[in-house]
Amino acid sequence: MRYLLVAAFFSLLPSACFAQDLQSRLIVHPTADISEKWFLAGWGIGNLRVKTPSNANFFGGVGYRGSDWWIEGMIQRQWSRKGNSVLFDVRFQKQFGNRVSLYVEPAPFLNRRAFYNFTIVEYRAFGKLRLGGETENIHRAGADSLAFGPRVSYSLGTLAGFSVVASITYRMQRPEPDALRVYLAFHRRFARRK
């Protein structure tokens, strides 16, 4: 199975040369424990794009942690040249065994009629390398924005207490141009002192 996933991903890589929009996303995700299960959650995301409008996003809220999953409910503010948005953002991640992970993010807009959703499925192929796919969509009046593509992630270790993960995805998008997006994510859990 692992070799089939690797072969499938690398067979799609040449299409990355045809990406019309290059994007980079810097992500900072700290959490601070309130109790054994509850925590405060925050995200800061900068999304730089060459051909489509860049944006900055800040989130704040609370989360609940299980043994192999977590869920967060937050208010999101997004700033961009196209206008500002406010969303109610829910983020859910679950680990299935030690190989497969699922991330789901539904978010209704609070200041206009639209709905955002983002999903990632990844398979740990070997070591710190994960292969998978992602889809990111905005459903709204008029033409929806739809994106899907293969994804590769690699854990780079820790820096100043943050676990650092780099990812790259080729996104086939409509009506926007196809994009090659690079992610650099910093995650850190601030545990309660006992």
- Model pLDDT for residues 122-175, shown as the tens digit of each residue: 999 989 999 999 999 999 998 999 999 999 999 999 999 999 999 999 999 999
State how far the Cα of 70 lies from the Cα of 76, in Å rounded to an integer. Answer: 18
- Confidence band (pLDDT; 50, 70, 90) for 192? confident
pLDDT at 14: 53
Q: Write the DSSP symbol of residue 16.
A: G
Contact 170, 185 (CB under 8 A): no
- Nearest residue to 87 via CA among 96, 99, 79, 98: 79
- Pairing assessment for the beta strands 55-65 and 38-49 based on DSSP bridges: antiparallel
pLDDT at 37 over 90: yes
pLDDT at 193: 77
Q: What's the mean pLDDT in 39-44?
A: 98
Q: What's the mean pLDDT in 44-68?
A: 95
Q: What's the mean pLDDT in 23-50?
A: 96
pLDDT at 179 over 60: yes
pLDDT at 19 over 80: no
For the chain, the C-alpha Rg in angstroms (whole number) is 17
pLDDT at 2 over 60: no
State how far the Cα of 86 lies from the Cα of 78, in Å rounded to an integer. Answer: 6
pLDDT at 194: 67
1: CB partners within 8 A, 6+ apart: 123
Q: What is the pLDDT of residues 75-124, one digit of tens each?
A: 999 999 878 999 999 999 999 999 999 999 999 999 999 999 999 999 99
Furthest CA-CA distance within the chain: 53
Tokens 């190989």, residue located: 99
- DSSP per position, 93-129: EEEETTTEEEEEEEEEBSSSSEEEEEEEEEEEEETTE
Contact 160, 3 (CB under 8 A): no
Cβ-count burial 138-175 (b if 16+ within 10 Å, e if not): beeeeeebbbbbbbbbeeeeeeeebebbebbbbbbbee
State how far the Cα of 124 lies from the Cα of 2, in Å rounded to an integer. Answer: 8
pLDDT at 90: 98
pLDDT at 13 over 80: no
Residues written for the chain = 194
Q: What is the pLDDT of residues 60-70, one digit of tens each?
A: 999 999 999 99
